[in-house]
């Protein structure tokens, strides 16, 4: 479904060039959930942004559903691929009602039947019709993220790119949003790429994951291998140890992988 | 040390009582549970229209309720210090890191500028900043988030306080950096006999890091338990919070036909919890 080959992304020019992503390749099959894990600055979000066309300065080869991607994306691409962003406070227009936010993609793609589609989309993400004419500031963080999911799904895409969809939410709300994403995936046979710094969230949602550090994929593995604590790369092992909680003795053995990458 | 019962006008915190010795006390709750306000109330940093009322609020024999602003300034920083959540907003952007740390020292000690600088450099080293000389001369925007947080901790620790209130000091950091910062705090508690109030939303982290845990909900303390025994917590709210966390170790079988994950248990809130409290 998604093929990425030798993808590189740089920012800036000359001596100030930053190589955010350095020649990574991965493949995601249709109907799969693929996790991209890494710490801040590892380039995991940049991969998503390059894939979704938000970041035009990339090199390599990307194929989505058999179509090779160019610099610019057309409407057909966005009908297939949609993205949910990390910050539900920043990704919704503060002066548009939920109704208008959801109507915009329908208008752009000339889908028609806006009224019916918006009503259904809200229902699907578990928000009642009473939310339809509210503004984002009248909603909680979890409700906003549901609106963001509804906006992504209103075009009935096949692929959803999720950039830290729950990291701004409380754990109880996180569980609700993860359940929603899991249910929608099954119902609509979606393909997910989930970017997160939280190994537990990725282990819960995905079947396979890639671990990124400093713009390269250090390891690709199945979640079963992660659960069995069998990562091969020392960076992944350290990340896993750190994710399991505070352990004074283990911390002294932490290495700084930024220096060696 | 002994604290008791701050009460807010908007009832942000209602009837909270706890005491703290030389230990690591975790305060856990979701957003809006009143955990940060509790931390601020101890330092009397709650500004009008906020109001703090309590039966007793005492620290090392000092009645904090009776202290005026002047007396509180003697206590803040010197005796009780607080690390805020975001270093980006807590550091002065137009002052070098070193000058800010040295200032914190000279406010509380009679020390020469040279002596303050020497202590500041020592402190930067103590929080494991590799090149303290360079960081001393840097401005806050020139350092990373993890380093900014360590700088904040260095600044708060330089007057050698007896109690440190850390309000989500590490939630903006990567997991490995987060644990390294916690290790610094842990060592200080062990070596200096400092008390630590650790405010966080991360149950797993608090369970593995602290000695005791307060669970807050809707401005009340619902449960106090031993951190090591948090997994055996009794209150349905605590149980609900623990259950709704996805876990790495537990292999949940894919439930859906397209390999979707099984649902996580969802927290069901009981309005009666708001009338409970320990």
Domain annotation covers residue B165: yes
Q: Is A171's CB within 8 Å of B203's CB?
A: yes
The pLDDT value given to residue B258: 43
Q: Is B186 on the interface with A (CB under 8 A)?
A: yes
If asked whether residues B175 and B245 sit together in one domain, one would say: yes
Q: Is residue B259 part of a domain?
A: yes
Do B73 and B209 belong to one domain?
A: yes
Q: Quickly list DSSP for B51-78.
A: --B-S-EEETTEEGGG--HHHHHHHBTT
Statement: the pTM of the whole predicted model exceeds 0.90: no
Range of the domain at B156: 90-160
Mean of the per-residue pLDDT values of chain A:
91
On whether both B251 and B266 belong to a single domain, the answer is yes
**What is the arithmetic mean of pLDDT over B115-125?**
89
| pLDDT averaged over every residue in chain B | 83
**What confidence score (pLDDT) does residue B2 get?**
53
Top pLDDT among A150 and B20 is at A150
How far is B134 from chain A, CA to nearest CA, in Å?
18
How much of chain A, in percent, has pLDDT values that exceed 70? 98
Encode pLDDT of B204-228 as tens digits: 889 999 999 999 988 888 889 898 8
Q: Which residue of chain B is at minimal alpha-carbon distance from A228?
A: B249
Question: What's the structural domain count of chain A?
Answer: 1
* pLDDT of residue A261 exceeding 60: no
User: What ranges make up the beta strands (E) of A67-190?
Assistant: 67-68, 81-84, 159-163
Query: Does A51 score more than 90 pLDDT?
Result: yes
User: At B255, is the pLDDT very low, low, confident or very high (cuts 50, 70, 90)?
Assistant: very low
Residue B85 inside a domain? The answer is no
pLDDT at B256: 40
Q: What domain range is A208 assigned to?
A: 2-260
The Cα B126–Cα A18 span in angstroms is 31
Domain boundary among B160, B195, B211: B160
The CA distance from B188 to the nearest CA of chain A, in Å, is 13
pLDDT score, position B271: 77
The confidence band for A130, taking pLDDT boundaries of 50, 70 and 90, is very high
What CATH number is attached to the domain comprising B177? Answer: 3.40.50.300
Co-location of B138 and B43 in the same domain: no
**Domain termination residue (choose one: B160, B184, B211):** B160
Output phi, psi for A16, to 5 deg.
-90, 10
Q: Which CATH number characterizes residue A195's domain?
A: 3.40.50.300
Question: Any idea which of A49-53, A64-68, A256-260, B49-53 has the lowest mean pLDDT?
Answer: A256-260
What total of structural domains would you count in chain B? 2
Which is more confident, B8 or B221?
A: B221
What is the total residue count of chain B? 278
Q: Are residues B183 and B249 in the same domain?
A: yes
Average pLDDT, integer, range B126-134? 83
Note the pLDDT of residue A34.
96
User: Is B184 among the domain residues?
Assistant: yes
Q: Which residues, other chains included, contact A168 with Cβ-Cβ below 8 Å and sequence gap of 6+? A: A86, A87, A88, A89, A141, A145
Question: Torsion over CA of B18, B24, B30 and B34, rounded to 10 degrees?
Answer: 40
B67-78, pLDDT tens digit by residue?
888 888 888 888
Same-domain pairing of B69 and B178 = yes
**B16 domain-assigned:** yes
Answer yes or no: do B149 and B271 share one domain. no
Q: What is the pLDDT of residue B257?
A: 39
Identify the domain boundary among B111, B142, B160: B160
Identify the closest residue of chain A to B33 by CA–CA distance. Answer: A170
Please report the pLDDT score of residue B7 as a whole number: 54
In a domain, B30, yes or no: yes
Say yes or no to pLDDT of A113 above 50: yes
Q: Tell me how close the Cα of B28 comes to any Cα of chain A, in angstroms.
A: 12
8 Å CB contact between B198 and B114: no
Indicate if the pLDDT at residue A133 is higher than 90: yes
pLDDT of residue A240: 92
């Amino acid at each position: 479904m998604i093929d990425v080959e030798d993808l590189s992304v740089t920012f800036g020019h000359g001596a100030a060039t930053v190589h955010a992503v350095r020649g990574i390749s991965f493949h995601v099959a249709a109907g799969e959930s693929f996790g991209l894990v890494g710490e801040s600055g590892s380039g995991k979000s940049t991969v998503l942004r390059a894939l979704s066309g938000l970041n035009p300065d990339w090199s390599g080869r990307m194929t989505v559903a058999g179509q090779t991607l160019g610099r610019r994306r057309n409407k057909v691409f966005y009908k297939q691929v949609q993205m949910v962003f990390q910050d539900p406070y920043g990704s919704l227009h503060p002066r548009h009602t939920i109704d208008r936010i959801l109507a915009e993609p329908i208008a752009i793609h000339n889908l028609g039947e806006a009224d019916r589609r918006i009503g259904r989309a809200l229902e699907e993400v578990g928000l009642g019709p009473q939310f339809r004419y509210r503004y984002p500031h009248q909603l909680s963080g979890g409700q906003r993220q549901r609106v963001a999911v509804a906006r992504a799904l209103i075009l009935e895409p096949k692929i959803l790119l999720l950039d830290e969809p729950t990291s701004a939410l409380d754990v109880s709300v996180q569980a609700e949003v993860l359940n929603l994403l899991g249910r929608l995936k099954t119902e609509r046979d979606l393909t997910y790429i989930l970017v997160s710094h939280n190994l537990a969230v990725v282990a819960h949602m995905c079947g396979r994951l890639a671990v990124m550090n400093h713009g390269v994929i250090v390891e690709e593995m199945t979640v079963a291998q992660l659960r069995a604590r069998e990562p091969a790369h020392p960076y992944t092992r350290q990340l896993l140890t750190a994710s399991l909680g505070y352990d004074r003795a283990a911390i002294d053995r932490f290495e700084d992988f930024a220096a060696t990458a | 040390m002994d604290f008791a019962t701050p009460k807010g006008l908007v009832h942000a915190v209602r009837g909270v009582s706890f005491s703290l010795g030389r230990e690591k006390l975790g305060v856990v709750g979701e957003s809006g549970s009143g955990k940060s306000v509790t931390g601020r109330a101890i330092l009397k940093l709650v500004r009008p229209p906020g109001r703090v009322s309590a039966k007793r609020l005492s620290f090392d024999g000092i009645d904090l309720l009776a202290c005026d602003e002047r007396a509180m300034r003697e206590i803040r920083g010197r005796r009780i210090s607080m690390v805020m959540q975001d270093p980006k907003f807590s550091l002065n952007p137009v002052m070098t890191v070193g000058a800010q740390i040295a200032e914190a020292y000279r406010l509380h000690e009679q020390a020469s500028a040279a002596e303050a600088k020497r202590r500041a450099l020592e402190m930067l080293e103590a929080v494991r900043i590799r090149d303290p000389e360079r960081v001393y001369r840097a401005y806050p925007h020139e350092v990373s988030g993890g380093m900014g947080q360590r700088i904040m901790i260095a600044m708060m620790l330089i007057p050698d306080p007896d109690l440190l209130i850390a309000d989500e000091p590490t939630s903006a950091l990567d997991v490995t950096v987060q644990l390294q910062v916690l290790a610094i705090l842990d060592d200080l508690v062990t070596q200096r006999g400092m008390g630590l109030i650790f405010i966080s939303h991360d149950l797993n982290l608090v369970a593995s890091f602290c000695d005791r845990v307060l669970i807050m909900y809707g401005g009340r303390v619902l449960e106090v338990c031993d951190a090591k025994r948090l997994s055996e917590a009794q209150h349905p709210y605590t149980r609900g919070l623990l259950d709704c966390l996805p876990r790495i170790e537990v292999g949940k079988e894919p439930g859906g036909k397209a390999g979707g994950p099984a649902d996580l248990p969802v927290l069901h809130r009981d309005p009666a919890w708001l009338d409970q409290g320990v």
